[in-house]
């Protein structure tokens, strides 16, 4: 791994094969296959991940994984992390694209002292998320840090 | 659907929840859950889809689904479609991002007359793929159209 880091270049490969109608099958070495389809609103199929969903997932998950890396590096403690995300596809200059992606991470901490470090980590995740940095689309992050009270012993 | 098309704005939502270590679980209404993780080279886990893979998948699958839409609209016939893709993450101005994504679709047709229409459709897919249009990353498409000989009756 250290030599790969020196090279500072990492390849990510996948393959897609058309199955039928507007459906395909994504594969990558060592990973479980993933069914994909055109979404229903573009004359596709319900119940399957679409390329549109995958992009929103990539952004949402990358902000989480970047947060986890920063939290680890700076010994930032937290109890839970969950995040909703919504991407909007609309016509821009005559072509469909993602005009914006909004991400709503909710991070629970045990006490107020931990909240500041978590806020810095999620801010860093927004700035360093390599998927967001690869996008023209504006990515807006709305973090919420909640202090979870310890359950009172009965 | 027609009213949605008039509005010309389509939302795509997903949620991610941290599970443990560098792993999470992606969900979206009506879709099968998807395990996700930081990839091994960034101190994550093997065997799970990463945000990096999901972006390459989104591009690769979107070029396919856009091709399928154009082929349908213009009655372009083909026998099969499969496509490898490789995205490269590297440091650009001190931050990791996807510097390029290369896509290698191979489309089989029954005879040479169908090849020209397929080439136009894949060219159109490259220009109109809404994921590519949402990226700063350069997306390079290397299409290959192959004429499959009918099997000779024995």
Q: Which of B22, B31, B58 sits opposite A47 (nearest CB)?
A: B31
Q: What is the ipTM metric for this complex?
A: 0.93
Write down the pLDDT at residue A3: 46
Q: Which residues of A touch B11 (CB under 8 A)?
A: 86-89
CB B91 within 8 A of CB A8: yes
Cα–Cα distance, B64 to B52 (Å, whole number)? 19
Phi, psi of B75 (to 5 degrees): 50, 45
Structural domains in chain B (count): 2
Task: Please tell me the distance in Å from B83's CA to the nearest CA on chain A.
Answer: 5
Write down the pLDDT at residue B149: 76
Write down the pLDDT at residue A154: 59
Q: List pLDDT tens digits, range A63-102.
A: 999 999 999 999 999 999 999 999 999 999 999 999 999 9
Task: Please tell me the distance in Å from A154's CA to the nearest CA on chain B.
Answer: 29
Share of chain A above pLDDT 70, in %: 92
Share of chain A above pLDDT 90, in %: 91
Q: List pLDDT tens digits, range B54-81.
A: 999 999 999 999 999 999 999 999 999 9
Phi, psi of B82 (to 5 degrees): -140, 155
Based on the domain organization, do A102 and A153 belong to the same domain?
yes
- Say whether pLDDT at B86 is over 80: yes
Based on the domain organization, do B67 and B95 belong to the same domain?
yes
Cα–Cα distance, B146 to A40 (Å, whole number)? 30
Strand ranges (E), B45-152 = 80-92, 95-109, 138-141, 144-147
Q: Which residues of A touch B40 (CB under 8 A)?
A: 1
Q: List pLDDT tens digits, range B104-123.
A: 999 999 999 999 999 999 99
| Closest CA relative to residue A123, chosen from A59, A82, A63, A60 | A63
Based on the domain organization, do A37 and A57 belong to the same domain?
no
Instruction: Give, in order, the Cα–Cα distances in Å from B61 to each of A20, A125, B29, B95.
Output: 14, 27, 20, 26
Give the residue on A whose Cα is nearest the Cα of B59. Answer: A51
Write down the pLDDT at residue B4: 47
Q: How confident is the model at residue A133 (pLDDT cuts 50, 70, 90)?
A: very high
CATH number at A81 reads: 3.30.300.20
Domain span at residue A28 reads: 1-49
Based on the domain organization, do A127 and A143 belong to the same domain?
yes
Q: Which residues of A touch B55 (CB under 8 A)?
A: 12, 54-55, 58, 131, 134
Mutate to test the interface with A, among B134, B139, B142 (most CBs of A within 10 A): B134
Report H helices in A12-151.
51-73, 112-128
Cα–Cα distance, A12 to A37 (Å, whole number)? 21
8 Å CB contact of B90 and A60: no
Write down the pLDDT at residue A12: 98
- Say whether pLDDT at A27 is over 50: yes
Average pLDDT over all residues of chain A: 94
Based on the domain organization, do B44 and B55 belong to the same domain?
no
Across the A:B interface, residue pairs with CB atoms under 8 Å apart total: 278
Task: Please tell me the distance in Å from B154's CA to the nearest CA on chain A.
Answer: 29
Give the residue on B whose Cα is nearest the Cα of A14. Answer: B85
Task: Please tell me the distance in Å from A153's CA to the nearest CA on chain B.
Answer: 26
- Say whether pLDDT at A147 is over 80: yes
Q: Which residues of B touch A60 (CB under 8 A)?
A: 14-16, 26
Based on the domain organization, do A57 and A123 belong to the same domain?
yes
Cα–Cα distance, A5 to B46 (Å, whole number)? 17
Q: How confident is the model at residue A152 (pLDDT cuts 50, 70, 90)?
A: low
8 Å CB contact of B136 and A134: yes
Based on the domain organization, do A94 and A82 belong to the same domain?
yes
Strand ranges (E), A32-143 = 34-37, 80-92, 95-109, 138-141
pTM of the entire predicted model = 0.93
Task: Please tell me the distance in Å from B79's CA to the nearest CA on chain A.
Answer: 10
Q: Which of B49, B70, B85 is a domain's end point? A: B49
Q: How confident is the model at residue A56 (pLDDT cuts 50, 70, 90)?
A: very high
8 Å CB contact of B57 and A36: yes
Write down the pLDDT at residue B2: 46
- Say whether pLDDT at A2 is over 80: no
- In the numeric block, which tokens belong to residue A20? 């039928």
Write down the pLDDT at residue B7: 57
Mutate to test the interface with A, among B51, B73, B104 (most CBs of A within 10 A): B51
Q: How confident is the model at residue B1 (pLDDT cuts 50, 70, 90)?
A: very low
Phi, psi of B85 (to 5 degrees): -145, 145
Based on the domain organization, do A73 and A108 belong to the same domain?
yes
């Amino acid at each position: 791994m250290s030599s790969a880091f020196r090279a500072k270049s990492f390849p990510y490969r996948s393959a897609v094969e058309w199955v039928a109608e507007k459906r395909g099958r994504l594969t990558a070495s060592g990973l479980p296959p993933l069914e994909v389809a055109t979404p229903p609103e573009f004359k596709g199929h319900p119940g399957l991940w679409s390329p549109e969903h995958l992009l929103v997932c990539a952004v949402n998950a990358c902000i989480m994984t970047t947060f986890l890396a920063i939290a680890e590096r700076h010994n930032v403690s937290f109890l839970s992390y969950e995040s909703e995300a919504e991407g909007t596809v609309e016509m821009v200059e005559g072509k469909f694209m993602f005009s914006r992606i909004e991400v709503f991470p909710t991070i629970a901490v045990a006490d107020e002292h931990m909240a500041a470090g978590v806020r810095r980590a999620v801010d860093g995740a927004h700035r360093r998320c390599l998927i967001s940095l690869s996008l023209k689309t504006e990515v807006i992050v709305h973090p919420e840090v909640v202090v979870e009270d310890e359950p009172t012993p009965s």
